Amino acid sequence: MTPGTSPESERELLACAERLAGRTLAEISLDLKTRLPSDLKRAKGWIGELIERALGASASSLPEPDFPRFGIELKTIPVDRAGRPRESTYVTTVPLVDNVGLTWDESLVRKKLARVLWVPVEAASAIALADRRIGSPLLWSPTHDQEATLRADFDEIMELVCMGQLGRVSARYGTYLQIRPKAAHGRVRTQGIGESGRGVPTLPRGFYLRASFTEEILRAHYALP
């Protein structure tokens, strides 16, 4: 498989991801003829986009997994020197309208988390961006107990959102899954539902996996200290 082309099979996708392991962002960027930014302050999301290109992801920001043919979502995960996640992981936007009756089984969150290809990336600030290496990939699906907890988090959060109680839902809600504002800046507004049942302007929200949960996932498959 040539870097940047869509994989023909799940096996080919995994093989390509495994070939990225140990390579630096500079090397991958050179392969794809992509300019390496000086830092990530003005290029947030660049690493994820680079790995998407390298693996031939086709869905990107569409409401379906990045590799719809295989039902696999790609998630890069920045890790510290000990291999622990440095931040929460964005999943998808929170549906703030037209959400009455939405269940976990029908949700985009479940669809995106059913099968995830995790790709760890070095993110220690002492390592120059160009020198940061890709880790070994992990194809993961939630266990029965993990999905039960994700479902409970989703149901609790969406019940409040549907009741117009969005203002009450902070990042403290949810064991594994949480919601947080998802916007380029604080002036961005979208339509939500207020307590009266009428539309109100509000910040866009996104579903995120807590770093403690993604660490649990990595710890189950890698030898973390």
Provide the pairing of β-strand 205-209 with 89-93: antiparallel
| Domain 10-221 CATH (choose: 1.20.120.140, 3.40.600.10, 2.60.40.10, 3.20.20.10) | 3.40.600.10
Mean pLDDT of 52-78: 89
pLDDT at 223: 65
The model's confidence at residue 185, banded by pLDDT at 50, 70 and 90, is low
Those residues whose C-beta lies under 8 Å from the C-beta of residue 77, and which sit 6 or more positions away, are 85, 89, 118, 119, 120, 121, 214, 218
pLDDT greater than 70 at residue 198? yes
Cβ proximity of 181 and 203 under 8 Å: yes
Higher pLDDT, 225 or 67: 67
Which residue ranges make up each domain of the chain? 10-221
What percentage of the chain has pLDDT greater than the value 90? Answer: 68
The model's confidence at residue 41, banded by pLDDT at 50, 70 and 90, is confident
Mean pLDDT of 93-109: 90
pLDDT greater than 60 at residue 208? yes
pLDDT greater than 80 at residue 187? no
pLDDT at 10: 94
pLDDT greater than 90 at residue 171? no
The model's confidence at residue 201, banded by pLDDT at 50, 70 and 90, is confident
E strand spans, the chain: 73-79, 89-93, 116-122, 138-140, 177-181, 190-193, 199-202, 205-209
Those residues whose C-beta lies under 8 Å from the C-beta of residue 1, and which sit 6 or more positions away, are 7, 8, 12, 15, 16, 56
Mean pLDDT of 137-159: 97
pLDDT at 164: 84
pLDDT at 188: 76
Average pLDDT, the chain: 90
pLDDT at 59: 56
User: Where is 188: in which H helix or E strand?
Assistant: none
Mean pLDDT of 218-222: 90
pLDDT at 118: 98
Mean pLDDT of 35-63: 86
Encoded amino acid at 56, one letter? G
